[in-house]
Amino acid sequence: MAATVLLLIGLLLPYLKLTAAQTRPIGVCYGRVANNLPSDQEVVNLYHSNGITKMRIYDPNEPTLQALRGSNIELMLGVPNGDLQALSDPSAASSWVQNNILAFTPDVKFRYVAVGNEISPSDEAASFVLPAMQNIYNAIASANLQAQIKVSTAIQTSLLGNSYPPSAGSFADNANSYIGPIVQFLKQTGAPLLANIYPYFSYIGDTKDIRLDYALFTSQGTPVQDGSLGYQNLFDASLDALYSALEKAGAPDVEVVVSETGWPSEGGDAATVDNANTYYKNMINHVSAGTPKRPGKVIETYLFAMFDENQKGPAETERHFGLFSPNKQPKYKLDN
């Protein structure tokens, strides 16, 4: 098995390690739900040594922020779901921005604040997302940084009530009262919608109707024809369904940043090193091409995740999304 893994894990680093002229809009999420990860400074060094210029973190962890000082790595900073209620108070949000953003500016290159991650309209925290976003935005604007740092929230594609065909994409009726005002806020402030898009989970949830090659960017021909637009992969179809939903919500100019996407290397159906290898290689090659709905429009994308995280769960696959093992060895060493 070990020999097979070493033989197959040959794809990723040359795609991430790019010259300035070749830079693709790719970042990597740095999750820390593990007890065996390198130090934050080692992690930042690993980003640098592999030419990774964008990072997403899920909370304002001070050692991470300190390690990022002077690194020139663009940062998407997360507000944990458990903090949303407190940050619906303007003074608390102002203090949060002061302590976690302004205290590190300009040494840390903040790009986005993700206010909550994958909040469902039925979650208790749902009513606090927009007030927290507004308060954090106002605190950032008070420091005149609103053009540099955009405030958004990261959603799941399950907020879509319809996603097939992509042109019929629309937010679910029970999600409209939640996501509609958020979308209008993004429109007013010029911020993108952050979306976690996982063809892997769509595939394992519907293997009868979704082909593996369609999820892995390897399908021949055009499995989905949507009017004049042809879709060769599920990622594009999912992203364009979101764009269709934004249009129907009155926000056709709001961009989508893919705040997470990935494929596990073990632990469940279709979770193999070979499939993960294929997905990451094809994803990284694809993002500069845009989607059928927005051809040529580069897709800013964050791969999930930097490391295997041994304390994630409950599904075993959740522990195997890393591009690197905790010992900093690459799982995918692509030579192309």
pLDDT tens figures, 265-323: 999 999 999 999 999 999 999 999 999 999 999 999 999 999 999 999 999 999 999 99
Q: Give the confidence band of 25 by pLDDT, cuts at 50, 70, 90.
A: confident
Residue 305's nearest CA partner among 17, 11, 40, 57 is: 57
Q: Is 19 or 321 the better-scoring residue by pLDDT?
A: 321
234 and 202 Cβ atoms separated by less than 8 Å: yes
Q: Give the confidence band of 203 by pLDDT, cuts at 50, 70, 90.
A: very high
Q: Give the confidence band of 17 by pLDDT, cuts at 50, 70, 90.
A: low
Neighbour tally for 289: CB within 10 Å: 13
Residue 255 known to be catalytic:
no
Q: Which segments of the chain are extended strands (E)? A: 26-29, 54-57, 74-79, 109-117, 150-156, 160-162, 170-171, 193-196, 224-226, 229-231, 256-261, 301-303
Across 118-134, average pLDDT? 98
Q: Of these residues, 74, 118, 247, 266, which one is catalytic? A: 118
List C-alpha distances in Å: 222 to 54, 63, 196, 228, 279: 32, 47, 24, 12, 18
- Percentage of the chain exceeding pLDDT 70: 92
Across 1-13, average pLDDT? 37
- The count of residues in the chain is 336
Mean pLDDT of the chain: 93
Residue 193's nearest CA partner among 144, 233, 147, 247 is: 247
Residue 260 known to be catalytic:
yes
Q: What is the pLDDT of residues 231-274, one digit of tens each?
A: 999 999 999 999 999 999 999 999 999 999 999 999 999 999 99
Q: What is the pLDDT of residues 150-188, one digit of tens each?
A: 999 999 999 999 999 999 999 999 999 999 999 999 999
Q: What is the pLDDT of residues 31-54, one digit of tens each?
A: 999 999 999 999 999 999 999 999
For position 132, what pLDDT does the model report?
Answer: 98
Across 196-211, average pLDDT? 97
pLDDT at 72 over 70: yes
Phi, psi of 113 (to 5 degrees): -115, 120
124 and 163 Cβ atoms separated by less than 8 Å: no
pLDDT at 141 over 70: yes
- Tokens 């060769």, located at residue: 232
Residue 322: CB partners within 8 Å, gap ≥ 6?
Answer: 265, 305, 306, 307, 308, 309, 331
pLDDT at 11 over 80: no
Across 101-115, average pLDDT? 98
pLDDT at 334 over 60: no
The model's pTM: 0.94
Q: Give the confidence band of 100 by pLDDT, cuts at 50, 70, 90.
A: very high
Across 51-66, average pLDDT? 97
pLDDT at 143 over 50: yes
pLDDT at 109 over 80: yes
Q: Of these residues, 74, 124, 247, 260, which one is catalytic? A: 260
For position 52, what pLDDT does the model report?
Answer: 95
Across 194-212, average pLDDT? 97
Q: Give the confidence band of 2 by pLDDT, cuts at 50, 70, 90.
A: very low
